[in-house]
Amino acid sequence: MKGRHTVHKSLTVIRNKFVRSSGLKVGVAFVLGATLAGGIATAVTSPVATVKACVDNKTQAMYLSTNGTCTKTRTLVDISGGAISVKSIAAAVTPSVVSINVVTPSGSGTGSGSIIRTSATSSYILTNNHVVESAASGGTITVEFNNGDMSPATIVGRDTTYDLAVIKILKGNLPVIQFGDSSTLSIGDPVVAIGSPLGLASTVTSGIVSALNRPVSTGSVGAEAYIDAIQTDAAINPGNSGGALLDAQGRIVGVNSAIATLTSGGQSGSIGLGFSIPINEAKRIANEIIDTGASTRPVLGVFFDTSYTGVGAKILKLSAGEGADKAGIPAGSIITSIDGVRIPDQISAIVRIRSYTPGDVVSIAVTLADATKKTYKVTLGSAPSN
């Protein structure tokens, strides 16, 4: 997928999907907030059966407590019989989730971020690109911790394609959030969202995974971010951008990025339709940015026919020498599924491909021009991510 053949109707496609399913006018918006005073809001669920565990204050690793006590370097938490203990997760993880305040000549805003790597002298924080992009050409970024301490930050790198960014602070030995595995999530799994909606630091909400592999496109025309999103009903509001979506063990499984709104202009609050970037995607991008200063995206090597209105993603032409061309997929073919996941339109195809890693081998099922069906094995190429 190259060029600008795929961008012109992305946001409209997403909105239309919501319109068809709900009968309401719904848009997708970033969740960047305005600066307000800090505070804490914590949701608590009732435990069913309690197991004691200790969370390491630095690494956030969780260990079983056989006697109900922990050492001074670990925090005692309750794990509720396989269910979720929001109170315990909040106590363990909030030190690893920060507020991000951005001030530029054109205005100010707030977002959220998670500490993902630390050393003796510095730490790296994962957030959304749209949280910090206004400061890329001038302005200041300040990180606020849950105890009220503040530290100036600089941008390490940004990826507009995935709406991700990494910032750095010169403050070390900080508690690092524990990574989960977003590929193991199932619909109905309990999750917790932590961030700073409307500047209210360390706000905690809970809910479930409402859907997986939800194709979401956000941003302005020509600068869209495509997300193979985790959908959740955990309350996400402006300012939650870049914050953590956590599983029942308090591990980050998503980066909260966008919400569906009932308004076509401006921002509104949560209506129970929040979207997070799967952490498996975000982790790869973040590590590449930290290690090399730039990130990559997988390439199928096709240009889609934006005038096609049928079901599937129609290939207008191929990029010579790229994966689709090498696999023998002909122009004019209509992609109907990728690795068994149904593809109703080109946005779904873009989002699905970008959920992979360069070099992955994927199965592309297509309907050929003569109406016959065929499946191709394609090795995805690599390209610099914007």
| CB-CB contact of 94 with 195 (8 Å) | no
Residue 149 bears catalytic tag: no
- Pick the catalytic residue from 112, 182, 241, 337: 241
**What is the greatest pairwise CA distance in the chain?**
70
- Of residues 21, 195, 11, 25, the one with CA closest to residue 113: 195
- Among all chains, which residue has been given the structure tokens 């030190």? 95
Sort strands 225-232 and 274-278 into parallel, antiparallel or unpaired. Answer: antiparallel
State the Cα–Cα distance between residues 114 and 126, nearest whole angstrom.
5
Rounded distance, CA 329 to CA 318, Å?
8
CB 269 within 8 A of CB 237: yes
Q: Rounded CA gap, 359 and 298, in Å?
A: 7
Q: Which structure tokens are listed for 80?
A: 């509720």
* 241 given a catalytic annotation: yes
The DSSP secondary structure of 229-291, one letter per residue, reads EEEE-S---TT-TT-EEE-TTS-EEEEEEEEEES-SSS-----S-EEEEEHHHHHHHHHHHHH
Which among 364, 367, 369 is positioned nearest to 379, based on CA atoms? 364
Tokens of 180: 């989960």
Q: Which two tokens stand for residue 243?
A: 């914050």
Q: How far apart are CA 28 and CA 263, in angstroms?
A: 9
Q: Choose the catalytic residue: 85, 130, 247, 337.
A: 130
Q: Which of 56, 78, 159, 163 is catalytic?
A: 163
112 catalytic residue (yes or no) = no
Residues forming the active site: 130, 163, 241
